Copies of this chain bind each other. A is one copy, B any other.
Amino acid sequence: MAHLTDLTDAEIWTQLESGALARIAWTASSGPQILPVNFVTHDGAVWLRTTAHSSMADQIDESPVAIEIDDIDPATHVGWSIVVHGRAEAIYHESDVPEEVTSLRAWAGDHRPLWIRVSADTVTGKRLTSQ
């Protein structure tokens, strides 16, 4: 059976800094939404890139979001999961984006001019071990 234990802050940020693919959840007028996104972390924030006209960008600017990354074996249920809660902010000028962040490739390719910065208010991580 799998067993849940907390990850330390150091373990959480190590995983966040090495991560590439996350899922972001937010609340639209039609209800909860979820999409996969590529991300990078920098200076305590999670950065995403999207199209300026995507529905996600319209809906999440200045709104609370939850971002999850994980690595879980579906067969054994061993792995880990990290959730970041924070507020999303659209960054319209690339000059406002740190150089360490601009290397991020958006998950769906071309024409992704809008950056989203999510300041991490809370970060929680769980390890699933087999015992």
Q: Which residues of A contact B (CB under 8 A)?
A: 1-4, 20-21, 23-27, 31-36, 38, 64-68, 70, 72, 74-75, 77, 81, 83, 85, 105, 107-110, 128
In the docked arrangement, what's the CA distance between A32 and B25, Å? 6
CB <8 Å contact, B2 and A66: no
Contact between B109 and A36 (Cβ–Cβ < 8 Å)?
Answer: no
Q: A68, B110: Cβ atoms under 8 Å?
A: no
Contact status B109-A70, CB under 8 Å = no
Closest-CB distance, A68 to chain B (whole angstroms): 4
Contacts of A33 in B (CB 8 A): 25, 66, 83
> Do A35 and B110 touch across chains, with their CB atoms under 8 A apart?
no
B35 & A83 in contact (Cβ 8 Å cutoff): yes
A22 vs chain B, min Cβ distance (A): 9
Q: Is the CB of A109 within 8 A of B77?
A: yes
Inter-subunit contact B26/A74 (CB<8 Å): no
Q: A36 to B107, Cβ gap below 8 A?
A: no
> Shortest CB–CB separation between residue A7 and chain B, in angstroms?
14
Given contacts A25-B26, A36-B72, 10 further A-B pairs with CB under 8 A are A2-B108, A23-B68, A23-B70, A25-B25, A34-B66, A34-B68, A72-B107, A77-B105, A77-B107, A107-B128
